[in-house]
A and B are shown apart, each in its own frame.
Chain A
């Protein structure tokens, strides 16, 4: 039996029924899958209990969401470590454009100032000041 030519892409993962690894897994993998399913089911049950509770008035507090927002906003710097890729990105997007813009704008302005001083720039219709 040959499997289909379906390949996973960036936005579509391979479904487990088309994955050949699914059909000959060991009992340990099965046990791990069952444990993860148990955790997911427990969390979903807790959420649904709160969701359908008739006496609930406020928001459901989702600890995973809170941890995610905390990690995205406040906890960035303590976990930062300069790596080659990091430093390259910082240099290319942080410092590079400043130097690049300085060179371009300085040469352009020097050229314009020189033309103005020599009186060669045509500013007859210049309205903005």
Chain B
């Protein structure tokens, strides 16, 4: 485990002591090498836990998310090169240090054995993200966005701290493998209902659930590209990961308490997908599509069957890569036209055909085309929710339809049709951008060939 944390921490001195013209090369190369390390964790002897130290361990739920996080850091660094070009070296290094600090906290969050360590690092991830959004965002609305982001997540997670203390007092330890063996007898009294709510609210806000999702479009739209990528790909999955860990101590109350959140997820999927159909802002469309996909994950985590957990994990990985790729594509548009309005950059297929291919593939994976892992995740979630109750198929099926609609709408608006007549100079696609898109799509394609490694506990 140290073989991952120490190199990531050492990326910080690498940033500060590199020569100014070598920062990006050094960091990208070293973070790519570090991203190969979690691949070693995939070979696990049993489903229980691979313990790396007394405080850090990895298991089949953690390892895919960890690999996603590690893979994302070189991608974030590559994506930020353009808009950081004119900043002073000090600011560049500060930006990269924020990203590396975020990466360290994320790695340790996903590996934490003890729930209190998980909570501390969960909160720690907020700070670098906040700094990235507030300092390097592009519009004046970023202050509002970062306030919403910070306070929604903090307010949701303070009850969780209290509940973790309480559970620690009751059960004696918050060690994750031990928690699966100890049970608290949760009945339907008011206090136990409140305990359930307190534990789950932090992750509901983080995922986000439909009623509490107000921070997400703001934060995603106002963040710079690296901030958007890491928010969409990893930080949302922290919520899913936490939910899947905590449901083991909250039984059997989850059956009764989960209903409001299941209804919110079911209806929220459709509402947010429909909102996507009438967005003017491209990044806002991708942000709302994130909410819609995450609603499926919330539903899967609350139903708590083995297949649904598998579907949730696969969907989290698939959505992380797809959303991050869509944000990179939107950013490549933004860098050229300096505007996020979809109508202003139409018909790009004539100008940038290779980028049109990446747009096409990203939109296809977003609408869960077979045989990508997006489809496998969605299919597992839809099948388990059907077996939970027959009626949900109407809503999840309608959601898949609307997802296809807005993905194709996004593709057609930006790529097909006539070029807008006032665009006279657009830089061609850089190799860096094509490489970025390729590095996003290649894990999806490779995982479609063998998804059993990200299937989590069941297969």
Contacts and interface: CB of A to CB of B under 8 A. Distances in A.
B423 interface: yes
Contacts of B281: 69, 73
Contacts of B263: 98, 101-102, 105
Nearest to B259: A102
Contacts of A104: 391
A98 B422 contact: no
A104 to B, nearest CB: 6
Interface residues of A, number: 26
Interface in A19-67: 51, 56-60, 65
A87 B281 CA distance: 26
A93 to B, nearest CB: 8
Contacts of B421: 51
Contacts of B280: 69, 72-73
Nearest to B270: A97
B264 A128 contact: no
B457 interface: no
Contacts of B383: 128
Contacts of A102: 259-260, 263
A124 interface: no
B296 to A, nearest CB: 16
Interface in B408-430: 421-425
Contact of A59 (B271, B344, B391, B395): B344
Given A57-B424, A59-B344, A101 B387 contact: no
> What secondary structure prevails in chain B residues at the interface with A?
helix
Q: Name the prevailing secondary structure of the A interface residues.
A: helix
Q: Which bucket holds chain B's interface residue count?
A: 35 or more
A109 B255 CA distance: 11
Nearest to A101: B263
A98 B284 CA distance: 25
Interface stretch (B181-189, B223-231, B333-341): B333-341
Contact of A129 (B264, B271, B306, B423): B306
Interface string A63-87: 0010001001110000000000000
Contacts of A101: 263, 266-267, 391, 395
Contacts of B307: 128-129
B341 A65 contact: yes
A59 B267 contact: no
B54 interface: no
Contacts of A98: 260, 263-264, 267
B411 to A, nearest CB: 21
Interface in B308-338: 337-338
Interface in A75-129: 93-94, 97-98, 101-102, 104-106, 108-109, 112, 126, 128-129
Contacts of A105: 259, 262-263, 389, 391-392
Given A108-B391, A128-B383, A129-B305, A73 B422 contact: no
15 contacts: A51-B422, A57-B425, A59-B423, A60-B422, A65-B341, A72-B280, A73-B280, A93-B271, A98-B260, A98-B263, A101-B266, A101-B267, A105-B259, A128-B386, A128-B387
Given A73-B284, A108-B390, A126-B387, 13 more contacts: A59-B339, A65-B341, A65-B344, A69-B280, A98-B264, A101-B266, A101-B395, A104-B391, A105-B259, A105-B263, A105-B389, A109-B388, A128-B386
Top 3 nearest A-B pairs by Cβ distance?
Answer: A128-B387, A98-B263, A101-B263
